Every structure is written in C-alpha cells, then in structure tokens.
Amino acid sequence: MKSTLNPDFYVWYCKCRKACGTPIGVMNMKTNEVKWVKSLPMMLRRPLRIEMMFGKAPPVARSSGATTALGVWL
C-alpha cells in the first residue's frame, strides 16, 4: 500500500559508521533531527507501518551512500 503522505521517520544503514557502533540513521521528519543508533527499540513498542523506499532516501542518507531507506509511520 503506497502512502501519499511523508513518513514520520526515515531509517537507513550507513556502512561507514559501522566501526563507531551506531550505523543506523534515524531522521525525525517533524524536527529534521538525525540520530545514529545501533538498534530501533524506541519504535518497536507501538503499532507502526514500514515501507521500503528505493530512490527516496533523504539527502542526509544519500550523502552517506544510502539509496534505499525505510519510511516509518507511527
């Protein structure tokens, strides 16, 4: 099911941050804040919808080499 609305969060993997231990980027679309984490426990406690978006990664994700991002709607 395709959504016409923007997701609440974008999530992507950045292999260049693997050595730091926080390779997962999470961008909050309401605040435009990016957090780097090692897992996503804060999102797993509520119902959500996830859609894989090829070619629709936000610019900060594309600059780290990501072409695909997960769109997350709460």
DSSP E strands in 1-74: the ranges are 9-13, 24-28, 33-37, 49-54, 68-73
Give me the pLDDT at residue 29, please.
92
Domain ranges of the chain: 9-73
Tens-digit pLDDT profile for residues 2-55: 555 889 999 999 988 888 999 999 999 999 999 999 988 766 677 889 999 898
Sequence-distant (≥ 6) Cβ neighbours of residue 17 within 8 angstroms:
23, 25, 36, 64
Give me the pLDDT at residue 42, please.
67
In the DSSP assignment, the letter for residue 63 is: H
